[in-house]
Structure 1
Amino acid sequence: ILEITPHRIREAIGDGMVPIVAGSQGVSTDKDVTFLGRGGSDTTAVALAHALGADACELYTDVSGVFTTDPRVVPTARKMASISFDELLEMTAVGCPKPAMRSVEVARTYSVPLHIRSAFTWEPGTWVIEEDPTMEQAVVSAIVPDTSESKVTVSGVPDRPGIAAGLFRALADADVNVDMIVQNVSAEGVTDISFTVPNGQAELAARITAERLPEENCSVTTDEAIGRVSIVGAGMKSNPGVAATMFETLASNGINIEMISTSAIRISCVVRVDDVDGATQALHQAFALGES
Structure 2
Amino acid sequence: MGRTVLVSAGHSESDPGAVGNGYVEARLAVELRDIVARKLRSAGVNVLTDGMDGRNDPLSKAISLARTADVAVEIHWNASNGAGHGIECLAKPNLKPISKALAGAVANATGLVLRGESGWKSDGSGHHKKLGFCEAGGVILEVCFIDNSRDMAAYVANKSAVAQNVADVLAAYASRSAVASGRTGNAAPATKPAADTSGYRHVLLRRGSFNASVGQVQRRLVALGYRVGVDNDFGAETDRAVRGFQRTAGLEVDGVVGSRTWRALFD
The answer, yes or no, to whether TM exceeds 0.5 is: no
Q: Indicate the structure with greater helix content.
A: 2
TM-score, L = length of structure 1: 0.28
Q: Which has the larger radius of gyration?
A: 1
